[in-house]
Chains A and B, each alone.
Chain A
Amino acid sequence: MQTTEVLTIQDLSKSYGGVHALSSVSLGIESGEVHAVIGENGAGKSTLVKIVSGVVRRDNGTILMDGGEIQFNSPREALERGISIIHQELSMLPDMNVIENIYTGRMHTRWGVIDWKALAEKTRQALKVVEMDIDPWARVGDLSISERQMVEIAKAVDRKCRILIMDEPNSSLSEHETEVLFRIINKLKRDGIAIVYISHKLEEVLLISDRITALRDGKYVGTVAAKESKIDDLVRMMVGRELVRDDVKRSYTREPVLQVSALTGIRFRDASFELYKGEILGFSGLVGAGRSELARAIFGADRFEAGEIRLNGDVVRFSSPWEAIQSGVAMLQEDRKKLSLFMDLSIRANMAIAQMPNLANHGMIRQQELNKTIQGFVDSLRIKLNTLDHPVSSLSGGNQQKTIIGRWLATHPQVLILDEPTHGVDIGAKAEIYQMIRKLADGGMSIILISSELPEIITMSDRVVVMREGEITTILEHQDIDEETIMTWAAGGKVRKEEIEV
């Protein structure tokens, strides 16, 4: 097959407030190839996609299309040049029909009146490309995820796209639906469309792509031919760096505080693990592996369908976070703005909220005691503030996070679940949070640390639970923890748990 480069990326860089999301990445995409881009969370995959599709502007570097330089100021310009993108979270209009979704902004009109008949016919033609027998008049919200995805592909093809970027396209597809997707991708490929396939499912990447490029920490690592590669090679490219691990082997007794057995919920299955007194138990896995969902179910924020949780030997089932808090289980949520902070309220109110009922007589707050408690945590967590009465929105990200940590420490938990505790905080605050976590564990608190940052998991954890697609694939003992092992279990290079447990 004759190939030519349709898209050439040279020395592309982008930083967000001093953080290099992408530095000097070069990459060539040929027409008629499936080019996979892989990397850990935060490796720069999505930044690359955003720049190419015109969502964000690059800082440096050039992008050539058919040899000519391009600079997009909006996604619309990228679309007009033939670059289409299918997002992981499909961006569709659920309450409108298939026709409207495919032809938004390009409605065929006669005398200013929409020509529905012609459009319906065109929609049927477009859907033929993706071999889908969908009624053009169907409401998109009523379609399955894979059907919606096909509608998106049909839309891209109908726009005469030449480069189709697919961001985690099979993250929520069944095996059969993935097969259909792959068949369509191969068909598009034969028509000369270049496909950029972003994924971290390595098995499928090997199956579908021609070439694979790995990014790590915003840098280009290398490009390999899929035919000549194995999963282990890809893992090595994704991880690469040798991390010096400060190998403090913390000592703690193996006295289980929390025992979770065969817990099954919507996004996780058959999860079993034990958390010991004074232990820091890391939870690693790719985004969407079900770690937060499992933790939320334990905390009583979500329901679970089957399984059992024991706290200090007694079976517990929290029907609300309130019950969990009263039993000594606390959970720091991952999305600070959405799930933790009360932006309009004072720092005091933000810190006091969870413990307030326990600092009151008959519902009346013991203000002095509450202030003393809060001031204590402000001091010990070294939260920098002028006065507790200022709104929490006046604090920096790191201090906001410390405020929320203070909220949970005030409840005197024996089990503290931390979901991405250092997300979006500066390096200084990060170090302080690490120090604090260690100190709490040394004091006997049991800690579950969910993190997408491998270095964080590796430096902090006594043991590591690795999850993949809702299942716990392995639990690594302290001496077995290293990046490649975790990544292999997380991305699915090794046989699954049930196959080794015989």
Chain B
Amino acid sequence: MNTESFLKRITGKTRAREAGVLVALIGMLIFMGFASPFFFTSQNIFNVLRNTTTIGIIAIGVTMVIISGGIDLSVGSVMAVSAMVMARLFYHGFGTLPGMLMGLAFGAFIGVFNAVMVTKVKLPPFIATLGTLSIGRGLTVLFATGIRGAVASNITVTEPLVLFLGGGYLGPVPFPVIIMALLYAFFGWFLRNTVLGRQVFAVGSNEEAARLSGVNIDRVKLFTYTATGMLAALAGILQTGLLSTAVTNAGQALELDVIAAVVIGGASLAGGIGSVWGALIGASIMAVLRNSFVLLRLPGFAQTISIGVVIILAVALDARKNTNS
């Protein structure tokens, strides 16, 4: 099978790196098909896909941030705090839609804050988002418990729409998977066919050249960080729906998994290179790995180690290919 032409067909672009990881993913699928009879049951496949959604949805935003030459460490916290804002508002009698919109808006707000810190205050993105990572986690606890810590640390959510979005099905397909698919279709198109999308690449490839070519750098960064904040909030809302609870430790250390997925998918932390499709493959590889270890009854530590090995292998092979060419 020619993965490159397959990729070219679905993404309109040949990218050897994505082809490489796609081959790795397919290899894993074939191996698991033989290793476990349960693997290719539709229930398990959709389960794996659902487990891909949290990292997968957030990876769209982080991919764009990384392509533009930045980094966002705050996504795990943003996910938790946005969901908690929504849950808290429900608790105080807010309607379903207004509560969800406020949750999304809160994620967007932290994204705007990140962007302002990076573009106006000129903080390195690593530092700015490390700050909001901590602030967001603190705010999550504050919103959950109140200043005196009177309320319980997790807030139960009963709104049917939220429960359906996060935990419902459309036929056999978990609803979050459908949302994720739509988001990938949209952002894949967006990055290729809009001015802003192309400018994201230009800024990451050579920021000064982009400025001198008339690109509004600040606007591009405002977009990438704000979109990431909203996507993280959305992931938080979906997870809350699945668990029917907003939990204070949601998304803890998630930023590292997301960055891993993006990097496995071929994005360069130096900026200018990457694609959302690569990130989706990266997120899938991680979800399949997790699932495989459960099915094969291997201990948890082996799973953690193997993800680390995959990250190092993927990037090392890429670096070797670059120096060879």
Contact = CB atoms under 8 A, between A and B. Distances in A.
B267 to A, nearest CB: 11
B194 interface: yes
Interface in A338-366: 338-345, 349, 352-354, 356-357, 360, 363-365
Given A363-B194, A363-B195, A344 B212 contact: no
A367 B193 contact: yes
Contacts of B205: 342-345
A356 B209 contact: no
A472 to B, nearest CB: 24
A53 interface: no
Contact of B212 (A333, A345, A352): A333
B211 interface: yes
Contacts of B214: 320-322, 324-326, 353-354, 357
A468 interface: no
Contacts of A326: 214
B277 interface: no
- Please tell me the size bucket of the interface on A: 20 to 34
A353 B208 contact: no
A365 B205 CA distance: 20
A349 B193 contact: no
B198 interface: yes
Interface in B214-266: 214-216
Of B13, B209, B272, which is in contact with the most chain A CB atoms at under 10 Å from its CB? B209
Contact of A338 (B208, B211, B273): B208
A194 B214 CA distance: 51
Contacts of B199: 353, 356
Contacts of A356: 195, 198-199
Contacts of B211: 301, 320-321
B79 interface: no
A339 B195 contact: no
A345 B209 contact: no
Nearest to A360: B195
A350 to B, nearest CB: 9
Contacts of A342: 201-202, 205-206, 209-210, 272
Interface residues of B, number: 24
Given A343-B205, A343-B206, A331 B196 contact: no
Contacts of A363: 194-196
B213 interface: yes
A345 B213 CA distance: 14
Contacts of B201: 342, 344-345, 349
A26 to B, nearest CB: 42
Contact of A339 (B196, B212, B268): B212
Nearest to B196: A363
B213 A407 contact: yes
A349 B196 CA distance: 13
A352 B198 contact: yes
A295 to B, nearest CB: 12
B273 A344 contact: yes
Contacts of B196: 363
A406 to B, nearest CB: 12
Given A301-B212, A342-B202, A364 B194 contact: yes
B31 to A, nearest CB: 33
A365 B201 CA distance: 15
A365 B193 contact: yes
A353 B215 contact: yes
A354 B198 contact: no
A365 to B, nearest CB: 6
Nearest to B189: A364
Contacts of B202: 342, 345, 349, 353
B67 to A, nearest CB: 10
Nearest to A366: B193
B265 to A, nearest CB: 16
Contacts of A365: 193-195, 198
A341 B198 contact: no
A325 B211 CA distance: 11
B194 A340 contact: no
A442 to B, nearest CB: 26
Interface string A282-324: 0000000000000000010100000000000000000011101
A331 B273 contact: no
Interface string A359-386: 0100111010000000000000000000
B194 A353 contact: no
A344 B210 contact: no
Given A321-B214, A353-B215, A341 B194 contact: no
A328 B311 CA distance: 48
Interface in B163-188: none
A338 B206 CA distance: 8
B322 to A, nearest CB: 11
A367 B198 CA distance: 12
Contacts of B213: 321, 325, 340, 353-354, 407
A343 B272 CA distance: 9
Contact of A349 (B14, B194, B198, B268): B198
A322 B195 contact: no
A291 B92 CA distance: 65
Contacts of A389: 13-14
A326 B213 CA distance: 11
Contacts of A331: 212
Given A301-B212, A325-B214, A353-B215, A344 B198 contact: no
Contacts of A333: 209, 212
A299 B214 CA distance: 10
Given A301-B212, A343-B205, A345-B205, A360 B194 contact: yes
Contacts of B268: 344
Of B13, B206, B268, which is in contact with the most chain A CB atoms at under 10 Å from its CB? B206
Contacts of B208: 338-339
B273 to A, nearest CB: 5
Given A301-B212, A321-B213, A321-B214, A353 B198 contact: yes
22 contacts: A299-B212, A301-B211, A320-B214, A322-B215, A325-B213, A342-B201, A343-B205, A343-B272, A344-B268, A344-B272, A344-B273, A345-B201, A349-B198, A352-B198, A353-B210, A353-B213, A356-B199, A357-B214, A360-B194, A364-B194, A365-B193, A365-B195
Which 5 pairs between the two chains have the least Cβ-Cβ distance? A342-B205, A322-B214, A344-B272, A325-B214, A354-B213
Given A320-B214, A321-B214, A343-B272, 15 more contacts: A320-B216, A325-B214, A326-B214, A331-B212, A339-B209, A340-B209, A340-B213, A341-B206, A342-B201, A352-B198, A353-B199, A357-B214, A364-B193, A365-B193, A407-B213
